[in-house]
Structure 1
Amino acid sequence: MSSTPSNRIVSSLYGPDSTLTPYSLDEQDNRKQLGREIPQLETHPERPQPRGSIYRSISWIFGFREKYSLINCFVWGGALVGYCLARSVTMNPHPARISIVLAPGEWFWFQLPLYKYNLFIHIYLTTIGGIFAPLQFLPAIRRRYVILHRLNGYGVLFCLIVGNICGSIIARRSFGGELNVQSAFYILGIMVVFSALMGIYNVKKDTRRHRRWMLRMVVYFSAIISGRLIWTAAAQIVTDIGTYFSIWRCDEVLNLLSDPQALQSTYPQCVAAGVNPAAVWVAVHASTRDGPLYYASALRAVNGMSLQSHLTKCGLVSCLSPLIILKKYRTDNIYLTSIY
């Protein structure tokens, strides 16, 4: 079928080499009628990368969304893992080794069967649980590897619950077994176990509440870290003051002070004829500069106070954190209301 001359003219007018289209005339008329040109897209120079891009990239890899979450995870989680690794030397059950790494005089009681087995169960389980606990707070694992998160979570819960129960048993003789020390360890064990059970209870019902209880459990469990820092400083303070003492049984004193002349001159009531060392108590000066006996006495004098101070701090944080969360929630709601 041949084309007419008029068709051939139109085809050549809108051919592939032409800059016109069948609607070019209409577009030009529309521009004239509207009195303006069609806006063109503006090109912007490439924006330079911000300085914190590496930090944000690492945060994104681990799944964190808040600005300081990675720093908190690295500082506090790293402190817990580092402390557990540092104290892993106590996992050696040989008496000659464990008596050195523990506080002076502690092995005197812990070598008894009742305390010995519970001591090593406590050491092994809490060390393993403390190393793997920070992995539970990595959002990347929680979102992408749910099975791993669950298995690791149940393993950590088992280790910390059983380990703290065994730790409460040995608290009867830990650092002299004074009432302030026993009460601190018992309260701490109850707080850890209760938080763990509440976390298990809310794991299917409310994931946010589950996370809060798990975070509380790890914070309570980490009391030994801040407690150790407190009693290290407090022991030096009471040494400088020089007027603090702790009560020791004579058989405990004989375990650490074997020099007969020192015993006769310092604690004659412990070596008197016909005296039962297990029935006599003496006051031992608290000092970190005068030998193992006096160093252990300084630790006994400040240990209960250190743990009680940490428990007070945990109580204040537990009371104030819901208020902070509620204030943030209200602020976010006001902000969203102003937007919409």
Structure 2
Amino acid sequence: MCCPLGYGVLFCLIVGNICGSIVARRSFGGELNVQSAYYILGIMVVFAALMGVYNVKKDTRRHRKWMLRMVVYFATAISARVIMAAASKIVSVIGTYYSIWRCDEVLNLLTDPQDVQSWFPQCVTAGVNPAAVWVAVHAASNGGPLYFASSVRAVQGMALWIATLIHVVAVEFYIHKTESANQVRDGFVLEPLDYSEDSATPY
């Protein structure tokens, strides 16, 4: 990573993670398992990036390892979305899962007064503050916007933690399996231990 570009990426990464940490407080209902997953993931990404930049001129092999970790950790959110999409369908089929919602969130998605009165009467009781009352919403991906959102909220934290575990194990496995092929530095490239300039393939 060239120094100006590398420092620029690191700066944007830190700013992005700070903003993401702020949003995590409310993301998918702001449940603690979701918040903790986002915060831990942000720390992992920034730490790996800092270690990569620190080793860029000291040890190319360590720099490579930390940059690989950073990129793979950063991609965890993508895998989490895939897991979340599958898991929300599964919990909907099981049919016994719920997530907790504030009444003002329910009223934002469930606009029919009769439906609100039928399913969540505590949200429309006279004198009730909708922002201070919580209700359980059935997780059902085929039951309308509110129930679909509930199915996503119910599995979001689990999806993040499973994706994080998968990515951590996968990148360490890859680093271990490719260790022998990244021993000798030739310019900006790492080559196997038996590499010599005479054996290099001309381009």
Give the structure-2-normalised TM-score. 0.84
Q: 1:153 offset after TM fit, Å? A: 2.4
Contact preservation (8 Å) 2:73, 2:168: no
Aligned pair partner of 1:177 in 8, 13, 30: 30
Matched, 1:252 2:69: no
Q: What pairs up with 1:280-291 in 2 under 5 angstroms?
A: 280-291=133-144
Query: Does the 8 Å CA contact 1:161/1:196 hold for their aligned counterparts?
Result: no
- 2:186 paired residue number: none
Name the residue aligned to 1:241: 94
| Percent identity between the two aligned chains | 66
Cα displacement string for residues 148-171 of structure 1 (whole angstroms, at most 9, x for unaligned residues): x43332222221221012101211
Question: By how many angstroms is 1:318 displaced?
Answer: 4.7
Say if 1:230 and 1:306, in contact at 8 Å, map to a contact too.
yes
- Between the aligned partners of 1:210 and 1:328, the Cα distance in structure 2 is 15
Post-superposition offset of 1:327: 6.7
User: Following the alignment from structure 1 to structure 2, what is the Cα–Cα distance between the partners of residues 150 and 288?
Assistant: 47
Aligned counterparts of 2:27 and 2:11: Cα–Cα separation in 1 = 23
The residue type paired with residue 172 of structure 1 is: R
Helix, strand or coil: the match of 1:190? helix
SS at match of 2:111: coil
Structure 2 CA distance for aligned equivalents of residues 230 and 171 of structure 1: 19
SS of residue paired to 1:275 = coil
1:218 partnered with 2:49: no
User: Shift in Å at residue 174 of structure 1?
Assistant: 0.4
Query: Which 4+ runs in 1 deviate beyond 4 A?
Result: 325-330
Higher radius of gyration, 1 or 2:
1
Structure with more strand by fraction = 2
Length, aligned pairs only: 188
Equivalent position of 1:115 in the other structure: none
Mapped contact 2:61–2:182 kept (Cα < 8 A)? no
SS of 1:248's partner is: strand
**Aligned residues of 2:49 and 2:66 also touching (Cα < 8 A):** yes
- Unaligned ranges ≥5, structure 2: 184-191, 195-203
Letter in 2 for 1:241: I
TM-score by length of 1: 0.51
Aligned Cα root-mean-square deviation (Å): 2.3
Which runs of 5 or more structure 1 residues have no equivalent in the other structure?
A: 1-135, 137-148, 335-340
Aligned to 1:188: 41
Q: Is the 8 A contact 1:288 1:295 kept in 2?
A: yes
Q: Does 1:305 align with 2:162?
A: no
Equivalent position amino acid for 2:15 in 1: V
Q: Which residue matches 2:57?
A: 204
